[in-house]
Amino acid sequence: MAAILHKEGVVVSQRPVDKKTNEITEFQSLLDPLDLKDKVVTADALHTQVEHAKYLKEQKKADYFFTVKGNQKTLLHAIEDLDDGDFSP
> Residue 8 carries which side chain, given as an amino acid letter?
E
**What is the H or E stretch that residue 53 is in?**
helix 50-54
Residue ranges with strand state E in the chain: 2-5, 10-14, 40-43, 63-66
pTM to 2 decimals?
0.84
Would you say residue 88 has pLDDT above 80? no
Q: CB-based contacts of 17: which residues, under 8 Å, 6+ apart?
A: 1, 23, 25, 26
Would you say residue 37 has pLDDT above 80? yes
**Domain extent listing, the chain:** 2-86
Output DSSP code: residue 63.
Answer: E
Instruction: Say how far apart CA 4 and CA 9 lie, in whole Å.
Output: 6
What would the pLDDT profile of 54-79 be if each residue is shown by its tens digit?
Answer: 999 999 999 999 999 888 899 999 99
